[in-house]
Amino acid sequence: TEGIGLFEARKPICVLLDLRMPVLDGIEFLKRLKTSPESEYAVIVLTAHGNIRDMQACYELGVSAFLRKPFDLFELISVTRNTICMKRWQIKVKKHERDLLEKENKLSLIHISEPTRPLYISYAVFCLKKK
């Protein structure tokens, strides 16, 4: 439960999670986080005890990667770096999608008579590009 509090206070982009923890195991931790691919953070599971069912449960609960111990330090660094990079791109893409939808909604509110329509649409596009 301390880990959940730290997570909520710091809001990291990436969590390294062991499945076997003394108070709260990793699967229960994931359930409480309500992790999904749409979350603004990624979870990488590290474990020496994971079997195929644990791995499947973790992926169903939204983890980004699953590494078995012992792992090579280079492997951990590479997977962590790639996972963070992918999560940042996902966040940027979601932001751009929201921005585009907002601009599309603004444009759809512009109702112009047909003869002057091209002029106003060009102006509206110009205004959107300036921002």
CA distance 114 to 27: 59
Q: 75: number of CA atoms within 13 Å, CB side?
A: 10
pTM: 0.72
| Mean local confidence (pLDDT), 96-120 | 68
Tens of pLDDT, residues 82-104:
999 999 999 999 898 888 888 87
Tens of pLDDT, residues 22-53:
888 888 899 998 887 778 899 999 998 878 99
pLDDT given at position 36: 76
CA distance 131 to 129: 5
